[in-house]
Amino acid sequence: MALTFWQSTLGKKIVMGVTGLIMIGYLCVHLLGNMKIFFGPEEFNGYGHWLRVMGAPVLHHQWGLWIARIVLVAAVVLHGVSAYQLSKRDIKARPQSYVHAKPRMSYATRTMRWGGVILALFIVWHILDLTTGTTHSGGFQEGHPYQNVVDTFSTWYGNVIYIVAMLAMGMHVQHGFWSAAQTLGAGSRTRDRALKATANGLAILLTAGFISIPVGVMTGVVS
């Protein structure tokens, strides 16, 4: 039953929609936590410590964090695989590409595939930079996320990578939220305007919020 669902086009679209909403929910929570950086190193480092002990004393040290990571990784993988397989089916069904783009197709829609690739590469870099410290500049300090973030955004390439990725994320969220709502049956003539406004609002809020962090470092607000 589950395999039949997964193999169907509708099943893959539903998986894409559900996992997309999971990731949008994560981004909203992640942004709220990241905003603590504007309240100083003690506040932000305290948030970083809480992430490692959340769920205590029921959960062991970092278990809550690893559960969240596993759920998020599963969502990213399922989302990416679904998108890739649906894309292949679409190409196979229409082997000749359209001569002209659909008139109502938005820029975000046309760039969804490349946006997904950019975000996938960014996730790898982001983990290596601020989680493992493998590619971090300035000397990675375990347990000091505030200083690590300042180090990253004190480099021109750290800012460029992050800002480009956040712009891609914004377009992805704007189109992805709308598509998920349609796939999961939330769309209707009476709700379409509200759903579009929500999609646009989420995209703007998340993009501006995340970009405010490197801007804060560059302008000295965060130092």
Average pLDDT over residues 64-80: 95
Q: Identify the pLDDT of residue 108.
A: 52
User: Are 183 and 17 in contact, with CB atoms under 8 Å apart?
Assistant: yes
pLDDT at residue number 97 = 52
Helices vs. strands in the chain: H and E counts, helices first = 9, 0
The angle that helices 192-218 and 9-34 make with each other, rounded to 10 degrees, is 40
Please check the confidence at residue 181 and state whether its pLDDT lies above 60: yes
Q: Is the pLDDT confidence value at 191 over 90?
A: no
Where are the extended beta strands (E) located within the chain? none
Per-residue pLDDT at 110: 63
pTM check: above 0.85: yes
Size of the chain, expressed as the number of residues it contains: 223
82-103 exposure pattern, b = at least 16 Cβ within 10 A, e = fewer: bbebeeeeeeeeeeeeeeeeee
Q: Are 29 and 92 in contact (CB under 8 A)?
A: no
**What's the pLDDT at 201?**
96
Whether residue 70 is predicted with pLDDT greater than 80 in this model: the reply is yes
Contacts of 195 (CB under 8 A, 6+ apart): 177, 178, 181, 186, 187
